[in-house]
């Protein structure tokens, strides 16, 4: 039975919406929200304020940045993620950290950072007091301590898919974050440039050594050529070797000598054939002699013709002419001898030159192999000379590049002093705190609601309880100094309209309106007595005679709540004790209050169940029904005593009262079913204590506080 009721209770609770459940558990929600928000705020105030400074540099050579004609291999290397990762590893290397620690400003900034980290917030100050404080001054004297503090402190990462690398440092002091981030970037740029300068210097030094070695080898080779030439007698002329030039000269001389020999032989042949040779004709002596012979011959012929052969002058001239002829012949013979001598000299010259030419030919043939070796050596020397010249040019280019050299990494921007803390950020922290507080508040409210088994109105409550909900009584504030809020029944209030609606459903709409009505509840303080008196007073305003019977004989409350005078009551009547004078009249135990007849419980008794089960109570009910239009019985709690079950079968109808958010739903269900099982007729369930903000969530139209009130009829 209990398991069935719990299941029905769970099904009823599950039928409520999330917002509805949170609305009725807004106290738990606000508690969870405020506590979480307070904790988040406390954590926010405890977290140390840190500032983040970021510098950026781009890993790309000047050629890749300024020119699009970079080679494919270079472009792939510069765009390779592995290359970017390598550069980031270099930025994280301890070597660069050691480089920046050489600056005294860095160590001073580390000391300031350490001090600020200990005094940043109240939490860090408490931690510093509770634990052994770190000696910040050791950072200025111990390089190893400073290195350990900076190890892993830098944040290095790529910016998207670009070649830009961001270098960040977080510190409680903004200036320290800027100083360290920029120091690491400067160290990397300097190291990158120094690396390229060292590479060029190494190349220049190597090329210089190669140039010295090549120069020495070149000079040694040239000296070897000259030594080889001198050893093999190879002297070079203007355009060829001396042997070749001498051979050419001998060839020319031999040709000239042979031509002169032929010419001399031709003149000799001409002279020998009896003709006047050219040398004879060109001889000055012969020409003079012939001229003198011609002159003398002319005079001799003239004298012979004139004077005859015997003329002395003619004979003298004839003798002179003959003498001149002899001399001419003698000179001609001398010319012939000279021609023969020239022919012999030419032949000797030709023979001599031919012998020299043949000898020179042998020498040139012998020196041919040496000339080939010389040519090979000369080509080797020329190749060495070209290499030497190229090395000189390359050294000049490298020296020029070194003066204009920059690193592959280029600065994008330096870090600037941050104006706002990097952590914790106020807006994200507030947003996260709000979400956490809302989530925890919602969870706490739902857990509280899930664990709550009090009455919560839902659409399937009538099916669960077995009766319909016939009324909702709003929560009213008790006026100071009043025993109970009776003033609400006579002033235009939602309570008056709620009682009016309840009365209409129970007595006007129903075809079989009971004359005897019992108001019950599962436990105490669920509004049973208030509802009893409220309905009775409203019924009085409709012109009916109403009697209210307080049947709770163990804990009576009417006299105190209504400030009634002391007197006999129900317990005395049922016990039939003095001073009751008659048994057929109720006047002795009825008390008037605001036009309402009330039978108070009287003196408390422990035998309430027995008294209510007696015939005198039946007599009381019979008398009341005969005298009054409506009798309302205020019963004891159903789940605490059996009195309500005893009364259930003696009344015409039962209104079961429950308090919203207070009454346990399973006890309400058990109470209703207990009364039904006892033979009672449960007209419906009245839920009291409904607040105005909760009524719309359960299908109750909020009542107007003025225009809907009808006042007292």
Q: What is the pLDDT of residue 64?
A: 47
Residue 510 · residue 683 · CB < 8 Å: yes
606, 506: one domain: yes
Q: Which residue has the higher pLDDT, 208 or 417?
A: 417
Please compute the mean of the pLDDT values over residues 529-545 and round it to a whole number: 86
Q: Which residue has the higher pLDDT, 397 or 635?
A: 635
* End residue of a domain, out of 403, 432, 464: 403
548 has a pLDDT exceeding 90: yes
481 has a pLDDT exceeding 50: no
Please compute the mean of the pLDDT values over residues 401-412 and round it to a whole number: 68
Total number of domains in the chain: 4
22, 151: one domain: yes
Percentage of residues of the chain with pLDDT beyond 70: 75
222, 249: one domain: no
In Å, how far are 14, 16, 22, 464, 694 from 459, measured between CA atoms? 11, 9, 18, 10, 15
Q: Place 82 in a pLDDT band, splitting at 50, 70 and 90.
A: confident
Q: Does a structural domain hold residue 706?
A: no
Measure the CA–CA gap between 242 and 246, rounded to whole angstroms. Answer: 6
Helix or strand run (H / E) with residue 687: strand 682-690
50 has a pLDDT exceeding 50: yes
Residue 561 · residue 529 · CB < 8 Å: yes
576 phi/psi in degrees, rounded to 5 = 55, 55
Say what the pTM is. 0.51
Helix or strand run (H / E) with residue 19: helix 18-24
Q: Place 631 in a pLDDT band, splitting at 50, 70 and 90.
A: very high
Q: What is the pLDDT of residue 35?
A: 92
Helix or strand run (H / E) with residue 54: strand 51-59
Q: What is the pLDDT of residue 94?
A: 87
SS3 assignment, position 483: coil
In Å, how far are 138, 251, 478 from 347, measured between CA atoms? 114, 16, 170
Q: What is the pLDDT of residue 73?
A: 53
181, 322: one domain: no
708 has a pLDDT exceeding 60: no
Measure the CA–CA gap between 567 and 580, rounded to whole angstroms. Answer: 11
315 has a pLDDT exceeding 80: no
Measure the CA–CA gap between 472 and 301, rounded to whole angstroms. Answer: 199
Q: What is the secondary structure of 60-75 as a DSSP string?
A: --HHHHH-S---HHHH
Measure the CA–CA gap between 127 and 118, rounded to whole angstroms. Answer: 8
SS3 assignment, position 299: helix
Paired sense of beta strands 653-659 and 154-158, if any:
unpaired
Q: Does a structural domain hold residue 3?
A: no
In Å, how far are 418, 473, 558, 647 from 618, measured between CA atoms? 90, 31, 22, 10
Percentage of residues of the chain with pLDDT beyond 90: 7
Measure the CA–CA gap between 280 and 409, rounded to whole angstroms. Answer: 102
Q: Does a structural domain hold residue 420?
A: no
Q: Does a structural domain hold residue 444?
A: no
55 has a pLDDT exceeding 90: yes
184, 210: one domain: no
Cβ neighbors of 302 (< 8 A, separation 6 or more) are none
Q: What is the pLDDT of residue 243?
A: 65
Q: Which range, of 163-172, 315-324, 603-612, 625-634, averages the lowest pLDDT?
A: 315-324
Q: Where do runs of H (alpha helix) occur along 576-695? A: 608-612, 615-627, 643-648, 665-677
305, 353: one domain: yes
Residue 647 · residue 635 · CB < 8 Å: yes
Mean pLDDT of the chain: 76
Write the burial class of residue 324 (CB in 10 Å: 0-12 exposed, 13-18 middle, 19+ buried).
buried
Sheet of strand 546-550: strand arrangement: 469-474, 682-690, 653-659, 516-521, 630-634, 546-550, 596-599, 590-593
711 has a pLDDT exceeding 50: no
556, 598: one domain: yes
Q: Place 13 in a pLDDT band, splitting at 50, 70 and 90.
A: very low
Q: Does a structural domain hold residue 649?
A: yes
Q: Place 660 in a pLDDT band, splitting at 50, 70 and 90.
A: confident
Q: What is the pLDDT of residues 587-598, one digit of tens each?
A: 888 888 877 899
In Å, how far are 14, 251, 450, 529 from 681, measured between CA atoms? 29, 162, 32, 19
Q: Which residue has the higher pLDDT, 102 or 25?
A: 102
Q: Which residue has the higher pLDDT, 144 or 493?
A: 144
207 phi/psi in degrees, rounded to 5 = -65, -35
Measure the CA–CA gap between 368 and 366, rounded to whole angstroms. Answer: 6
Q: What is the pLDDT of residue 70?
A: 46
* End residue of a domain, out of 341, 366, 391: 366
Q: Which residue from 531, 534, 470, 536 is spatially nearest to 505, judged by alpha carbons?
A: 470
Strands of 60-186, DSSP E: 154-158, 164-171
Q: What is the pLDDT of residue 702?
A: 35
Residue 365 · residue 265 · CB < 8 Å: no
Q: What is the pLDDT of residue 709?
A: 31
593, 478: one domain: yes
Q: Which residue from 259, 261, 279 is spatially nearest to 271, judged by alpha carbons?
A: 279
248 has a pLDDT exceeding 80: no
**Packing angle of the helix pair 494-503, 528-541 (nearest 10 deg):** 80
Q: What is the pLDDT of residue 75?
A: 47
480 has a pLDDT exceeding 70: no
Measure the CA–CA gap between 81 and 421, rounded to whole angstroms. Answer: 32
190, 216: one domain: no
Chain Cα centroid distance, residue 101: 29
Q: Place 537 in a pLDDT band, splitting at 50, 70 and 90.
A: confident
Residue 188 · residue 128 · CB < 8 Å: no
Residue 548 · residue 541 · CB < 8 Å: no
Q: Does a structural domain hold residue 12?
A: no
Q: Which domain holds residue 213?
A: 205-229+383-403
Q: Which range, of 52-61, 297-306, 463-472, averages the lowest pLDDT?
A: 463-472
246, 220: one domain: no
Q: What is the pLDDT of residue 175?
A: 92
705 has a pLDDT exceeding 50: no
Residue 203 · residue 123 · CB < 8 Å: no
Angle at the Cα of 218 (from 215 to 223), degrees rounded to 5? 125
Q: Which residue from 609, 586, 583, 598 is spatially nearest to 549, judged by alpha carbons?
A: 598
Q: What is the pLDDT of residues 441-451, one digit of tens each?
A: 888 878 877 76
Q: What CATH number did the domain enclosing 538 receive?
A: 3.40.50.300
Q: What is the pLDDT of residue 519?
A: 92
Please compute the mean of the pLDDT values over residues 85-109 and round it to a whole number: 87
Q: What is the pLDDT of residues 665-700, one digit of tens each?
A: 778 888 888 888 888 888 888 888 776 555 543 333
CA atoms within 13 A on the CB side of 569: 25
281 has a pLDDT exceeding 60: no
Please compute the mean of the pLDDT values over residues 445-459 and round it to a whole number: 68
45, 159: one domain: yes
Q: What is the pLDDT of residue 332?
A: 72
Q: Does a structural domain hold residue 592?
A: yes
Q: What is the pLDDT of residue 518?
A: 92
Sheet of strand 154-158: strand arrangement: 154-158, 164-171, 51-59, 409-413
Helix or strand run (H / E) with residue 208: helix 174-231
Q: Which residue from 626, 684, 658 is spatially nearest to 510, judged by alpha carbons?
A: 684
Measure the CA–CA gap between 479 and 486, rounded to whole angstroms. Answer: 9
Cβ neighbors of 488 (< 8 A, separation 6 or more) are 476, 495, 496
192, 212: one domain: no
Q: Place 65 in a pLDDT band, splitting at 50, 70 and 90.
A: very low
Residue 526 · residue 516 · CB < 8 Å: no
Q: Does a structural domain hold residue 650?
A: yes
Residue 388 · residue 255 · CB < 8 Å: no
Q: Which residue has the higher pLDDT, 705 or 283?
A: 283
């Amino acid at each position: 039975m209990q398991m069935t009721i719990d299941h029905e209770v769970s099904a009823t609770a599950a039928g409520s919406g999330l917002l509805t459940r949170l609305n009725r558990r807004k106290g738990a929600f606000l508690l969870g929200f405020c506590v979480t928000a307070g904790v988040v705020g406390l954590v926010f105030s405890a977290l140390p304020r840190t500032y983040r400074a970021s510098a950026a540099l781009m890993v790309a050579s000047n050629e890749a940045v300024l020119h699009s004609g970079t080679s494919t291999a270079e472009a792939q290397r510069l765009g390779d993620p592995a290359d970017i990762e390598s550069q980031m590893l270099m930025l994280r290397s301890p070597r660069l950290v050691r480089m920046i620690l050489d600056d005294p400003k860095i160590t001073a900034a580390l000391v300031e950072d350490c001090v600020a980290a200990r005094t940043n917030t109240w939490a860090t100050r408490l931690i510093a007091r509770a634990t052994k404080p770190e000696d910040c001054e050791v950072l200025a004297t111990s390089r190893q301590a400073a290195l350990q503090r900076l190890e892993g402190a830098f944040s290095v990462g790529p910016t998207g898919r670009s070649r830009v690398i961001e270098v960040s440092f977080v510190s409680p002091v903004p200036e320290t974050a800027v100083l360290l981030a920029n120091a690491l970037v400067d160290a990397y740029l300097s190291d990158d440039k120094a690396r390229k300068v060292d590479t060029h210097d190494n190349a220049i030094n190597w090329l210089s050594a190669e140039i010295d070695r090549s120069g020495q080898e070149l000079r040694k080779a040239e000296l070897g050529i000259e030594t080889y030439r001198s050893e093999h007698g190879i002297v070079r002329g203007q355009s060829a070797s001396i042997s070749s030039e001498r051979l050419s000269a001998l060839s020319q001389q031999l040709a000239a000598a042979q031509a002169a020999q032929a010419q001399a032989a031709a003149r000799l042949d001409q002279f020998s054939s009896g003709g006047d040779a050219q040398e004879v004709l060109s001889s000055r002596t012969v020409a003079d002699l012939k001229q003198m012979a011609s002159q003398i011959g002319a005079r001799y012929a003239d004298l012979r013709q004139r004077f005859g052969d015997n003329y002395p002058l003619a004979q003298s001239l004839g003798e002179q002419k003959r003498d001149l002829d002899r001399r001419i012949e003698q000179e001609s013979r001398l010319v012939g001898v000279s021609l023969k001598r020239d022919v012999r000299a030419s032949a000797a010259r030709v023979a001599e030159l031919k012998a020299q030419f043949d000898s020179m030919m042998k020498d040139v043939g012998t020196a041919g192999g040496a000339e080939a070796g010389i040519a090979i050596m000369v080509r080797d020397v020329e190749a060495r000379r070209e290499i030497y010249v190229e090395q000189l040019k390359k050294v000049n280019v490298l020296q020029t590049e070194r003066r204009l050299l920059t690193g592959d990494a280029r600065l994008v921007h330096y870090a600037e002093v941050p104006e706002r803390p990097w952590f914790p950020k106020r807006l994200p922290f507030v947003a996260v705190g709000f979400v956490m507080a809302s989530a925890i508040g919602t969870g706490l409210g739902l857990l509280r609601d899930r664990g709550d088994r009090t009455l919560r109105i839902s659409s399937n409550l009538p099916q669960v309880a077995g009766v319909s909900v016939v009324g909702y009584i709003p929560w009213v504030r008790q006026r100071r100094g009043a025993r109970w809020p009776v003033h609400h029944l006579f002033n235009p209030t939602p309570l008056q309209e709620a009682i009016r609606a309840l009365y209409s459903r129970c007595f006007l709409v129903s075809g079989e309106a009971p004359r005897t009505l019992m108001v019950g509840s599962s436990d105490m303080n669920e509004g049973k007595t208030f509802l009893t008196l409220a309905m009775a007073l409203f019924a009085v305003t409709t012109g009916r005679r109403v009697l209210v019977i307080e049947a709770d004989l163990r804990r009576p409350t009417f006299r105190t709540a209504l400030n009634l005078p002391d007197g006999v009551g129900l317990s005395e009547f049922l016990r039939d004790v003095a001073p009751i004078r008659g048994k057929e009249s109720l006047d002795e135990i009825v008390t008037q209050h605001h036009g309402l007849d009330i039978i108070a419980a009287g003196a408390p008794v422990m035998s309430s169940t027995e008294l209510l089960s007696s015939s005198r109570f039946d007599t009381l009910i019979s008398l009341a029904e005969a005298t009054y239009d409506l009798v309302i019985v205020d019963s004891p709690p159903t789940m605490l005593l059996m009195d309500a079950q005893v009364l259930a079968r003696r009344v015409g109808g039962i209104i079961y009262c429950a308090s919203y958010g207070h009454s346990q739903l399973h006890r309400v269900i058990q109470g209703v079913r207990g009364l039904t099982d006892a033979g009672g007729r449960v007209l419906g369930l009245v839920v009291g204590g409904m607040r105005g903000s909760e009524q719309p969530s359960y299908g109750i139209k909020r009542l107007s506080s003025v225009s809907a009130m009808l006042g007292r009829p």
